[in-house]
Chain A
């Protein structure tokens, strides 16, 4: 029982991070059918921007409290969101009509650029996050669930709820859903397609950045390569839930987090990535539409 609860709690936190990143993948894929390989690096960028902002205001020991941390989180999300829009403008928009291979290769170039740019800017070593979160928590069936874990899951849930409302209740959300259906028709209806695509990148990037800052504070260290593996896993989560589907990405992320934590317990830590990637290949073979995905045509 103790193990079960602990696995559930740890898995939920990791799963929340996966969900936030997977949302960006799935939104961008839904709207322009692009696998944004650089998306994991936006998570890394978020962790580093948060790191710099927190260092600037003096770290966790200045007694700025929860409010200060939330301001930093929001500021990071805005900065990285703008970076995401910039990437779309410079690297992806000119290639929207080019062969698919071109835009995929460009995305890899952007990923290389972000990783190595971060390495030059912040150094190649692991950096210790200037914020130490408390390890205090409540005891449930012998397992410890920290207040930090509860807080992180709550913030993630709030972000996802906000996104859900935005997509389903606002005009821009409606435009996004419409573009995912038929880009040309939207253009004819007077929707500024490029603006909406830019907005999608902004939201996707800022969600990933939020996950990055939270993960930096949760794990305590950040590194310029931290986005690579987690980007791949978040993609796995997006595919698991059904790529293109927003509730699917949320569900997929949580499921992957839980499965991975359980897998670590069963097979040991060095095998957890193998478990996640094998899962990815298995899903693609057995049910490429994922849990909540719509039936997609094979080619477009």
Chain B
């Protein structure tokens, strides 16, 4: 079957990821953990930039929201790590809506600059407020535990973030092929046409923005307990740009591409240690060159429209069609 052949590389990749800790030394295990963080973050940003076509230049802000929420709740109020997760997710979604609602109505370039300003505001707040520990940040964040088992070692966190990365990839992949995902891509390609087809472009953009925010904050929460200390420096503009670079390098909207991009963005600097000063210069050139010569990314998204149409057959045409009309009618009324 075709399905097995398609799944084989994925299974192999997961196997490699699962046994990697036993093959790599501590240093490379740390790099791999960081790469997994970047996979989660890049997939979150992929929803915003890749699917919905909204340029977000302050994505690290949501990473910060998650990290600081967990950090503060655990150190100041003594919450359990698992209880802080829903709070940081909810907070990120609310912040996403607050920032997104007024600006998503504007032209896309405005959104880029507002998110950039917002990212700076969050970083400056973290530096200036006393509850976030000012410039030195929050330290002594306790280790999370499952039952009586305390996640403390490098290995534990590697597997924790691996699970989250897999969940994020699956969620984003499912979202991308869903009705919502198709609406996003329609908006990305042609906003006016999408609106004419009954897609509420503001709500859909807001949804993309908030989902991206939620995924980013989730990564931030795990980051806080993994590092056990967080500082404003981790949430700078450069961080946002690196995440964006992962998405652009891999291929906007492409799930495997973004995974590849995240791994490259983390491992290439490790390999380029000897030319450390030139790193970001090279990244800058890479961004320009990618847009000039290969705007679709290293591993572009494939839209197999033909397969989807034949696969869903008549069920899609008859049964689902009526639902669509009803949903759209509800939207119009709302």
Contact = CB atoms under 8 A, between A and B. Distances in A.
Interface of A: 33-35, 90-91, 94-95, 98-106, 108-117, 119-120, 228-229, 232, 235-236, 239, 270-271, 273-274, 277-278, 280-281, 284-285, 288, 296, 298-300
A108 B244 contact: yes
Contacts of B108: 100-101, 104
B267 interface: no
B285 A109 contact: yes
Contact of B280 (A35, A112, A229): A112
B5 to A, nearest CB: 33
Contact of A270 (B128, B248, B286): B128
B78 interface: no
**Chief secondary structure at chain A's binding surface:** helix
Interface in B279-296: 279-281, 283-288, 290-292, 295
A278 B99 CA distance: 11
A100 B241 contact: no
A277 B120 contact: yes
A104 B295 CA distance: 12
Nearest to B286: A109
Interface residues of B, number: 47
B284 A113 contact: yes
Given A101-B49, A288-B106, A110 B284 contact: yes
Nearest to A29: B109
B106 A103 contact: no
A114 B102 CA distance: 32
Interface in B125-176: 125, 127-128
B291 A116 contact: no
A299 B287 contact: no
Given A105-B55, A113-B281, A299-B192, A284 B124 contact: no
B112 interface: yes
Contact of A273 (B118, B124, B287): B124
B205 to A, nearest CB: 12
Nearest to B189: A99
B121 A106 contact: no
Given A101-B252, A112-B281, A284-B110, A273 B120 contact: yes
Nearest to A267: B128
Interface hub of B109, B237, B295 (most chain A Cβ within 10 A): B109
Contacts of B281: 112-113, 116-117, 120
Interface hub of A108, A281, A285, A296 (most chain B Cβ within 10 A): A108
B153 to A, nearest CB: 36
Given A102-B295, A104-B112, A274-B121, A109 B103 contact: no
A120 B276 CA distance: 11
Q: Which 9 residue pairs are nearest across A and B when measured between Cβ atoms?
A: A109-B287, A112-B284, A113-B284, A285-B102, A109-B288, A277-B117, A116-B281, A116-B280, A106-B291
Nearest to B288: A109
Contacts of B28: none
Given A270-B124, A280-B117, 20 more contacts: A90-B288, A91-B292, A98-B295, A99-B295, A101-B252, A104-B108, A104-B112, A108-B244, A111-B284, A116-B277, A116-B279, A228-B237, A229-B120, A236-B117, A274-B124, A280-B114, A284-B102, A284-B110, A298-B105, A300-B107
B191 interface: yes
Given A105-B291, A112-B287, A35 B109 contact: yes
